[in-house]
Amino acid sequence: MPDMATIHQSSKNNDTADLGYFASTEVEDDELEENVEDWSRYYKKKTSRLFYPICVGDVLDKRYCIEHKLGHGGFATVWLAYDIQNKQNVALKILAAGEGEHEIQMHEEILQSVQDTSRLVTCLATFSLPGDNNCNHQVLVLPWRGGCLDDLRIKKMSMTARMSAAKQLLEALESLHKAGIVHRDLKDGNCFWGVVPLDDLSRRAKYQALGRPLKQVIWVEELWKPGEFVRPLAIPDDLRTDTFYLGDFGLAMKLGSSGAVIPDGRPPMQFCSPDRLHNKGPSIACDMWSYMCIFAELYLGHPIFSSFGTTHNMVGLLGPLPEEWKGDYLPPENSLDLWYDQDKKPSPSVNLHARIARARPDIDPIERDLVYSVMARGFNYSPEKRLTATQLLQDPSFKALLDRYC
C-alpha cells in the first residue's frame, strides 16, 4: 500500500487522462473472466434484462464520471464515480433493464419512515439512462462504502472490531424494524465497511491507493454502445474504517403494505431462516435469523452453516425441524424425512455447544455460555420465540459479551 502522504501530494497533479489498462496476458484474461459479470448480460438474444454497457471515463447524467468498478450482482453493476457537481466520490448502482422500481420505492420509504438512517446505505439521488430498444436503466446514487463483509476479511479482523460490527449492524436493523420494514436479504454481502474519504484526490492518486482498472472491451454481437469488462477494485485494509453499514434494499418490504408488488426472493441458503425455507411469509423474525447467522460468522470467524447441504447441516447442529412443517419444504423433492424425526437429537460432539467450543478454544466457560445463550435463542425454529433486535440489544448475555470486547 503506497504511503497516503505521498498519494495526497500527487493529487495536486489532477490527471484525468488515466482510464486504466487493457488485459494483455493470459493471466490477466483469466482474472477478468473470474471476477466480472457474464457476457450474456449484454447480449439481447440471451436476456431481456440487459446490463448497461459502461466504459471507464463515461460521464453519466452530465455529472457522474466513472472511475472504477465496485462489483456486480444478479440485477446490477456497481461503479465508483466522481460527482463533478458535489465534488465527492459516490457509488452508482446501474440496474438491469426493467429492474429497480421497487428498490427506489423502498429507499424513499426508508428515508421517510426510518428515524435513524446513519447506519443504512441510502440513496442520495436517482436518475434513468436510456438503453437499447427504448428500455431504461434505473440508477441509484449511493454513498461510497468500503466493500462488504466476507469470511476471509472477517478472519483478519480483531474481536473488538468484529463485536463492534455486530452491534452496529444490529442497531441498523433495529432502525428498519422499528419502521415496520423487513430487509428480506440480510447476509454478509449486504453489510459494508466505512472507507476513508478520498474526495480530494485526483484520479491518478486514487489509482495509487486503489489500483488502476484492469479491463477488456465487451465484444458482443449488436452491442448498441461501447462497454468494458472491468475487474472490481480491492480496497486496502488500511482504507477501511471501523464503522459498518447495512445496505441493498432490493427485496425489502414494508409490513402491512397492501397492493404493493413485492419481488420474489430470499437470502442465500446459509442465511435463510428455516420458516422461509418452508414457504412461510417474510417477517422481522426471518431477518433476526439472518442476523444471527452474521453474528455467528463474526464471532466464530466462519459461516455457521455451509452453503451446500444447509438444512441438513442445520438439523445436525440444532436438532429436528418442527414436525408440522413436514411437506412444506421448497422444493419438496429436496427434503428428507429424517429432518423432522423428533427422536433424532444432535450428537454432543457436533451440536451448537460443541461448534462454539471447537471454533473458539481460546474463550473461558463463562464466555462460552454467554455466546450459547445468544445463539440458541437467535436460532430458535419458532419465529415468535426469536428475540427482536431491540430485545437482543437489551439482552444481558448479549450486553455482557459485547462488554468483553467493546
pLDDT tens string 46-97: 998 999 999 999 999 999 999 999 999 999 999 999 999 999 999 999 999 9
Report the pLDDT value the prediction gives residue 263, as an integer from 0 to 100.
84
Task: Specify the range with the lowest mean pLDDT, choosing from 9-13, 311-315, 384-388.
Answer: 9-13
Q: Do 95 and 127 meet the contact criterion of CB atoms below 8 Å apart? A: no
CATH number at residue 366: 1.10.510.10
Same domain (yes/no): 174, 84: no
362 pLDDT higher than 90 = yes
Taking the CA atoms of 327, 332, 337 and 340 in sequence, report the sign of the dihedral they define: negative
Same domain (yes/no): 360, 227: no
Same domain (yes/no): 300, 374: yes
Report the pLDDT value the prediction gives residue 10, as an integer from 0 to 100.
44
Predicted confidence (pLDDT) per residue in 222-240, tens digit: 899 999 999 999 999 999 9
Same domain (yes/no): 184, 208: no
DSSP element (H, E) containing 34: helix 26-35
4 pLDDT higher than 60 = no
Same domain (yes/no): 103, 27: yes
Same domain (yes/no): 20, 165: no
- Domain assignment present for residue 86? The answer is yes
Same domain (yes/no): 141, 278: no
What band does 13 get if pLDDT is binned at 50, 70 and 90?
A: very low
C-alpha distances (whole Å) from 106 to each of 125, 185, 253 are: 13, 13, 7
| Mean pLDDT score, 285-310 | 96
Mean pLDDT of the chain: 93
- Domain assignment present for residue 256? The answer is no
- Domain assignment present for residue 9? The answer is no
The answer to whether the annotation marks 93 as part of a ligand binding site is yes
7 pLDDT higher than 60 = no
DSSP element (H, E) containing 128: strand 125-130
Report the pLDDT value the prediction gives residue 257, as an integer from 0 to 100.
77
CATH number at residue 57: 3.30.200.20
- Domain assignment present for residue 319? The answer is yes
Report the pLDDT value the prediction gives residue 404, as an integer from 0 to 100.
97
C-alpha cell at 30: 483469466
Q: Do 216 and 29 meet the contact criterion of CB atoms below 8 Å apart? A: yes
Same domain (yes/no): 275, 359: yes
Angle between helices 365-378 and 396-403 (to 10 degrees): 130
- Helices then strands, counting H and E runs in the chain, come out as 13, 13
C-alpha cell at 335: 427434503
Same domain (yes/no): 298, 360: yes
Domain boundary among 170, 205, 240: 240
- Domain assignment present for residue 260? The answer is no
Q: Measure CA 255 to chain center.
A: 22
Residues near 279 by beta carbon (within 8 Å), at least 6 away in sequence: 328, 329, 330
- Domain assignment present for residue 340? The answer is yes
DSSP element (H, E) containing 314: helix 310-318
Same domain (yes/no): 220, 345: no
Report the pLDDT value the prediction gives residue 15, as an integer from 0 to 100.
62
What band does 259 get if pLDDT is binned at 50, 70 and 90?
A: low
Residue 132 is given by DSSP the state: G
Query: What is the count of structural domains for the chain?
Result: 2
Range of the domain at 71: 16-146+197-240
Same domain (yes/no): 396, 326: yes
- Domain assignment present for residue 251? The answer is no
Enumerate the β-bridge partners of residue 65. 59, 82
- Domain assignment present for residue 312? The answer is yes
Same domain (yes/no): 392, 353: yes
What band does 26 get if pLDDT is binned at 50, 70 and 90?
A: very high
